[in-house]
């Protein structure tokens, strides 16, 4: 475990990488605090910029954006009462009342410390657990890998979106997208429908940019959204708010609540490790649990310190949790880590259980980059707060065209193909329809990235031995498949229960 | 209604994918070939979409029995009003993609950003100035960054 960290420090402690990491954090914070600009969008758009870099440098940049973005939502949540990202919804519950009571500086600095300290807790969990998991996963044959992917996809489908059936449909749709183009074993062109555009397949990142960035922008252009946005802007102006940050006093305050901090961080890490569930769920669950455990639950919602600590610790600690399956199994838990994995693949590194053994310097680099990014986040937030506050209000009509151009550039840069741009547009429209009809995007995205791995393992399994009952007779594979079925049944049972309750 | 259309579209897509896989070359019986995995996925997708479609039909029929006073014309009008900007922006994006190949990256990006910003936002003198300067600065810095640092060549179009 420590040798991984040593290797990582060796990789990351380099002036150029540190600079890139730092810029990444700043970009992430900015992305996080602008309502309408999500962390996933920022990460997706950062990736093309990292193509020319060394793998470790590129990864460091993206981890910087990830960590910065998770904490950036705090600023607009505390000062404006608007979550800058979906991951800071619960932060508005207590940080905003606290700011309104005349202590915006206190709300911000407590939030920053909670973000930082919870990142460290989740890093600790990541570093201790990930190598164990991957050790275990080394025993997996193609049967187990395929079953594991089935499990991951059903879990994602059941935790996100409107209903499990829609989640599963989205996941399967993602799998289908991934089958367009050459097949992974023989290289036959599939489903090109004689269109040149499709011959090379549908690149994962184009799907991601289309579904996450373009569809999100289109949502913000709906008339009712624009109207809501305009009203919110009229109400508050963060740039005129006066506050003083007191880093040391607030650190004492956060540390004096160790149970809330550690509890919320553990909850956040666990939720982060579940595929599909990320910061937006952890933020609310951690807040809720802290309220349940608290001696004075009535204080929650009025601007109490525990509330701010719990919500911000909850969302930032998902980063570490999210990295566990990503690093140890090659299975991304969220859109953000999916981008991280594809960045590795761009550089010719295959993610999977072997990653820690084959590329210990990359894995160590990820761990250490996470640590340094958290530190950089702490410093930038305290030092740059006054500047950040001024940019919470980029108007939609400026934001949308800029990001659209960035999407087009990012897509083009991937393969230097103008035909990919049409795929981008199509994916944007599909993604928009998906969100419009409440299909979750995360299963589709994870489906696209796991599709080729699932197919490869399925076919390898049959090549090794045509007997399909092996999926059921190998114990680990059977366990995964049973869990898959259980997760579907459990979700159905839950929905039926909820309906019954609603009727009573 | 829209939900139903999406579900039916997905069923059609699954059938299309399923039938397409027949043309793919196959190896022998005992192994899975290029078409097997997509077929497997298409069956699951088609089945689930069918369930969803049936569910939607039931919901629609029930709704019709209770009240169906809002006319289709009104609904359409609402949809158009609500999504007017979405449609326009998507159309502009399409034109932008076409224009990149004709006018080149720099020119078309600048024009696209200015037009889109003015369509979405206020059309005052001040906003035109801000938007135009942002468009020019952003486009040029992107162009030079990618050209020089990452050695990406953007389409230059007919003018340069």
Q: For residue B29, is pLDDT > 70? A: no
List the structure tokens of B90: 């998507």
* Candidate ranges A100-114, A156-170, A175-189, A366-380; pick with highest mean pLDDT: A366-380
Domain spans, chain A: 2-503
pLDDT value for B31: 62
Same domain, yes or no, for B24 and B64?
Answer: yes
Interface test with A, best of B5, B15, B93, B113 (most A CBs within 10 A): B93
Say if CB A364 and CB A7 are below 8 A apart: yes
Taking the Cβ of residue B138 and every Cβ of chain A, the question of whether any pair is shorter than 8 Å is answered with: yes
Same domain, yes or no, for B135 and B89?
Answer: yes
Query: Which tens digit of pLDDT belongs to each residue from B101-145?
Result: 888 888 999 999 999 998 888 888 888 898 899 999 999 998 888
Q: Tell me what the mean pLDDT of segment A349-371 comes to.
A: 86
Residues of B in contact with A404 (CB under 8 A): 89, 93, 96, 112, 116
Q: For residue B27, is pLDDT > 60? A: no
The answer to whether the CB atoms of A190 and B25 lie below 8 A apart is no
Maximal CA-CA distance, chain B: 71
Distance CA B18, CA B39 (A): 5
User: Last residue of some domain: B37, B69, B101?
Assistant: B69
- B49 to chain A nearest CA, in Å? 7
Q: What is the dihedral of CA B112, B113, B116, B121, to 10 degrees?
A: -160
Of A191, A396, A425, the CB nearest to B97: A425
Per-residue pLDDT band for A165 (boundaries 50, 70, 90) equals confident
User: Last residue of some domain: B37, B53, B69?
Assistant: B69
B154, part of any domain: no
Residues of B in contact with A190 (CB under 8 A): 20-21, 24, 34-35, 38
The answer to whether the CB atoms of A185 and B24 lie below 8 A apart is no
Same domain, yes or no, for B18 and B56?
Answer: yes
Residue of chain A whose alpha carbon sits nearest to that of B94: A425
Per-residue pLDDT band for B90 (boundaries 50, 70, 90) equals very high
Interface of B with A in 39-58 (CB under 8 A): 41-42, 44-45, 48-49, 51-52
Distance CA A49, CA B33 (A): 37
User: Is the ipTM beyond the 0.85 threshold?
Assistant: yes
Interface test with B, best of A401, A404, A443, A461 (most B CBs within 10 A): A401
User: Can you give the three-state secondary structure of A192-252, one letter per residue?
Assistant: CCCCHHHHCCCCHHHHHHHHHHHHHHHHHCCHHHHHHHHHHHHHCCHHHCCCCCCHHHHHH
Lowest mean pLDDT among A2-6, A36-40, A359-363, B32-36: B32-36
Q: What is the SS3 assignment for A190?
A: strand
The answer to whether the CB atoms of B97 and A408 lie below 8 A apart is yes
User: Last residue of some domain: B18, B39, B69?
Assistant: B69
Same domain, yes or no, for B42 and B109?
Answer: no
Residues of A in contact with B101 (CB under 8 A): 418
Among residues B12, B27, B20, B24, the alpha carbon closest in space to that of A182 is found at B24
pLDDT value for B94: 93
The answer to whether the CB atoms of A218 and B34 lie below 8 A apart is no
Interface test with A, best of B5, B50, B85, B114 (most A CBs within 10 A): B85
pLDDT value for A424: 92
pLDDT value for A331: 86
Q: For residue A21, is pLDDT > 60? A: yes
The answer to whether the CB atoms of B151 and A400 lie below 8 A apart is no
Q: Tell me what the mean pLDDT of segment A132-145 comes to.
A: 86
DSSP A300: T
Same domain, yes or no, for B62 and B83?
Answer: no
Same domain, yes or no, for B41 and B103?
Answer: no
For residues B53 and A336, the model is more confident at B53
- A435 to chain B nearest CA, in Å? 11
Same domain, yes or no, for B79 and B63?
Answer: no
Interface of B with A in 96-135 (CB under 8 A): 96-97, 100-101, 109, 112-114, 116-118, 120-122, 127, 130-131, 134-135
Q: For residue A182, is pLDDT > 70? A: yes
Of B120, B127, B153, the CB nearest to A400: B120
The answer to whether the CB atoms of B85 and A396 lie below 8 A apart is no
Q: Count Cβ atoms below 10 Å from residue B81 Cβ, excluding itself.
A: 11
The answer to whether the CB atoms of B142 and A409 lie below 8 A apart is yes
The answer to whether the CB atoms of B30 and A466 lie below 8 A apart is yes
pLDDT value for B67: 59
Distance CA B119, CA B141 (A): 24
- B31 to chain A nearest CA, in Å? 6
- B154 to chain A nearest CA, in Å? 8
Residues of B in contact with A391 (CB under 8 A): none
Residues of B in contact with A414 (CB under 8 A): none
pLDDT value for B28: 54
Q: Tell me what the mean pLDDT of segment A441-445 comes to.
A: 85
Q: Tell me what the mean pLDDT of segment A257-266 comes to.
A: 84
In which element (H, E) is residue A181 found? strand A181-182
pLDDT value for B32: 67
Same domain, yes or no, for B81 and B145?
Answer: yes
In which element (H, E) is residue A189 found? strand A189-190
Q: For residue A41, is pLDDT > 70? A: yes
Interface test with A, best of B17, B18, B38, B153 (most A CBs within 10 A): B38
Same domain, yes or no, for B6 and B51?
Answer: yes
Count CB pairs under 8 A between chains A and B: 165
pLDDT value for B155: 79
What is the bridge-based pairing of β-strands A189-190 and A181-182? antiparallel
pLDDT value for B159: 66
Range of the domain at B21: 2-69
Q: Count Cβ atoms below 10 Å from residue B24 Cβ, excluding itself.
A: 18
Distance CA A201, CA A274 (A): 29
Q: Count Cβ atoms below 10 Å from residue A249 Cβ, excluding itself.
A: 12
Of A169, A221, A437, the CB nearest to B89: A221
List the structure tokens of A103: 């202590």
Per-residue pLDDT band for A426 (boundaries 50, 70, 90) equals very high
Residue A316, CA distances (Å) to A70, A177, A338, B123 in order: 6, 32, 18, 40
Q: For residue A239, is pLDDT > 60? A: no
Q: Tell me what the mean pLDDT of segment A68-77 comes to.
A: 80
Per-residue pLDDT band for A504 (boundaries 50, 70, 90) equals low
The answer to whether the CB atoms of A169 and B45 lie below 8 A apart is yes
Same domain, yes or no, for B79 and B145?
Answer: yes
Lowest mean pLDDT among A31-40, A302-311, A484-493, B115-124: A31-40
Q: For residue B26, is pLDDT > 70? A: no
E-assigned strand segments in A78-155:
none
Q: For residue B16, is pLDDT > 70? A: yes
- A452 to chain B nearest CA, in Å? 10
Of A168, A416, A429, the CB nearest to B152: A416
Residues of B in contact with A400 (CB under 8 A): 89, 116-117, 120
Q: What whole-number percentage of chain A has pLDDT above 90?
A: 5
Q: Tell me what the mean pLDDT of segment B35-41 comes to.
A: 83
Distance CA A195, CA A188 (A): 15
Per-residue pLDDT band for B93 (boundaries 50, 70, 90) equals very high
In this structure, is the dihedral angle defined by the CA atoms of residues A435, A439, A441 and A445, taken in order, positive or negative?
negative
Residues of A in contact with B83 (CB under 8 A): 222-223
List the structure tokens of A196: 């040149």
Q: What is the mean pLDDT of chain A?
A: 83
Domain count along chain B: 2
For residues A247 and A122, the model is more confident at A122
Say if CB A434 and CB A210 are below 8 A apart: no
Query: Which tens digit of pLDDT belongs to each residue from B55-67?
Result: 888 888 887 776 5
pLDDT value for A388: 78
pLDDT value for B77: 84
- A272 to chain B nearest CA, in Å? 27
Of B34, B49, B146, the CB nearest to A186: B34
Query: Which tens digit of pLDDT belongs to each residue from A455-486?
Result: 888 888 888 887 778 888 888 889 899 998 98
Q: Tell me what the mean pLDDT of segment A70-74 comes to.
A: 79
Distance CA A301, CA A95 (A): 9
The answer to whether the CB atoms of B24 and A404 lie below 8 A apart is no
Per-residue pLDDT band for B95 (boundaries 50, 70, 90) equals very high
B155, part of any domain: no
Distance CA A378, CA A365 (A): 20
């Amino acid at each position: 475990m420590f040798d991984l960290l040593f290797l990582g420090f060796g990789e990351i402690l380099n002036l150029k990488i540190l600079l890139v990491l730092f810029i990444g954090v700043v970009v992430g914070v900015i992305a996080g605090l602008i309502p309408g600009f999500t962390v996933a969008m920022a990460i997706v758009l950062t990736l093309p910029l990292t193509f020319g870099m060394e793998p470790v440098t590129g990864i460091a940049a993206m981890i910087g954006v990830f960590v910065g973005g998770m904490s950036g939502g705090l600023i607009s949540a505390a000062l404006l009462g608007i979550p800058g990202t979906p991951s800071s919804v619960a932060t508005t519950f207590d940080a905003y009342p606290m700011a309104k009571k005349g202590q915006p500086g206190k709300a911000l600095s407590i939030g920053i410390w909670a973000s930082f300290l919870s990142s460290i807790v989740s890093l600790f969990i990541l570093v201790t657990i990930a190598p164990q998991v991957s050790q275990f996963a080394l025993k997996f044959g193609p049967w187990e890998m395929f079953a594991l992917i089935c499990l991951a996809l059903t879990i994602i489908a059941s935790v996100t979106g409107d209903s499990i059936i829609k989640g599963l449909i989205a996941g399967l749709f993602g799998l289908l997208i991934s089958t367009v183009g050459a097949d992974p074993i023989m290289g036959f062109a599939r489903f090109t429908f004689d269109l040149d555009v499709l011959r090379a397949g549908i690149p994962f990142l184009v799907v991601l940019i289309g579904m996450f960035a373009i569809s999100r922008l289109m949502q913000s252009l709906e008339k009712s959204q624009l109207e809501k946005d305009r009203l919110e802007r009229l109400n508050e102006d963060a740039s005129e708010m006066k506050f003083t940050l007191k880093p040391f006093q607030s650190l004492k305050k956060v540390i004096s609540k160790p149970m809330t901090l550690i509890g919320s961080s553990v909850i956040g890490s666990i939720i982060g490790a579940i595929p599909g569930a990320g910061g937006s769920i952890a933020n609310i669950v951690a807040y809720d649990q802290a309220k349940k455990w608290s001696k004075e639950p009535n204080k929650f919602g009025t601007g109490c310190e525990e509330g701010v600590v719990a919500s911000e610790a909850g969302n930032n600690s998902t980063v570490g949790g999210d990295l566990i399956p990503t690093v140890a199994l090659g299975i991304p838990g969220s859109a953000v880590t999916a981008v991280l994995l594809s960045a590795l693949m761009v550089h010719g590194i295959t993610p999977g259980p072997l990653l820690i053994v084959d590329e210990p310097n990359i894995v160590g680099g990820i761990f250490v980059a996470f640590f340094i990014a958290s530190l950089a986040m702490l410093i930038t937030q305290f030092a740059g707060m006054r500047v950040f506050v001024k940019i919470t209000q980029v108007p939609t009509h400026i934001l949308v065209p800029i990001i659209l151009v960035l999407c087009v550039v990012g897509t083009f840069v991937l393969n230097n193909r103008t035909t990919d741009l049409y795929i981008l547009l199509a994916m944007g429209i599909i993604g928009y329809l998906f969100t419009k009809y409440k299909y979750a995007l995360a299963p589709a995205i994870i489906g696209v990235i796991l599709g080729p791995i699932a197919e490869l393992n399925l076919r390898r399994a049959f090549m090794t031995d045509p007997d399909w009952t092996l999926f059921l007779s190998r114990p680990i594979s059977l366990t995964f498949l049973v869990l898959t079925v259980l997760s579907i049944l459990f979700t159905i049972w839950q929905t039926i229960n909820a309906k019954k309750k609603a009727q009573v | 209604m829209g939900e139903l259309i999406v579900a039916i579209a997905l069923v059609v897509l699954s059938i299309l994918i399923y039938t397409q896989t027949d043309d793919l070359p196959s190896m022998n019986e005992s192994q899975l070939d290029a078409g097997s995995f997509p077929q497997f996925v298409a069956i699951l997708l088609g089945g689930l979409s069918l369930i969803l479609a049936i569910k939607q039909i039931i919901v629609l029929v029930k709704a019709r029995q209770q009240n169906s006073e809002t006319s289709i014309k009104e609904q359409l009008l609402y949809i158009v009003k609500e999504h007017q900007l979405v449609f326009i922006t998507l159309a502009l994006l399409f034109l932008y993609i076409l224009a990149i190949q004709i006018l080149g990256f720099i020119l078309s990006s600048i024009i696209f950003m200015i037009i889109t910003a003015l369509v979405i936002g206020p059309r005052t003198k001040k906003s035109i100035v801000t938007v135009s300067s942002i468009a020019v600065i952003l486009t040029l810095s992107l162009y030079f960054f990618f050209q020089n640092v990452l050695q990406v060549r953007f389409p230059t179009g007919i003018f340069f």
